[in-house]
Structure 1
Amino acid sequence: MGMIMVRCPQTGRSIETGMEMDAERFQRMPVFFSRTYCPHCCIYHEWFAAHAWVAEVSDRERIALA
């Protein structure tokens, strides 16, 4: 199980969407559209699932340290 992540278009930094999902299941999902609050620039970003990825816990820990 991992966190669905997107990239902030303003800063280029990764954002946790708050949605957790198995990577295989995420790959099988139909394309969807969502909004996520960005803690880096303090606004909501709209995104498509095609631009998102699933980060496993170890991946998220590396992102947090970067």
Structure 2
Amino acid sequence: MKIVMARCPYRGQPVSTGIEIEEATYSRLPETLILSRCPLCGLEHVWWKAEAWLEEARYDSTPDAPRD
């Protein structure tokens, strides 16, 4: 699975939209808007599909630390 990425218009940094999708499925999507909450600034942003890109999903394989 890949993650749809976009750029925060306020910070200028790439962010994950939180959308996981197969590359073949993404390529068949129409040119459409993507709405998601930005983890950098906390605001909702709208991106065109053409402004977004795919990156490999990264999963943290480190187990949670024990809780007291």
CA contact 1:22–1:54 (8 Å) conserved in 2: no
Greater C-alpha Rg = 2
Q: Which runs of 5+ in 2 are unaligned?
A: 61-68
Gaps of 5+ in 1: 62-66
Pairwise CA distance, 1:27: 1.8
Higher helix share: 1
TM-score (norm 2): 0.73
Give the match for residue 12 of structure 2. 12
Q: Secondary structure at the match of 1:20?
A: strand
Deviation at 1:57, TM superposition (A): 2.8
What is the CA distance between 1:25 and its match in structure 2?
A: 2.3
3-state DSSP of counterpart to 1:31:
coil
User: 1:1-66 alignment to 2 at 5 Å?
Assistant: 1-57=1-57
What RMSD over aligned residues (CA atoms) do the two structures have, in Å? 2.0
Distance, in Å, in 2 between the alignment partners of 1:27 and 1:34 is 14
* Superposition deviation, residue 24 in structure 1: 2.8
* Percentage of matched positions with identical amino acids: 33
Structure 1 stretches of at least 4 aligned residues deviating more than 2 Å after TM superposition = none
Match for residue 63 of structure 2?
Answer: none
- The 1-side partners of 2:25 and 2:35 are apart by 20
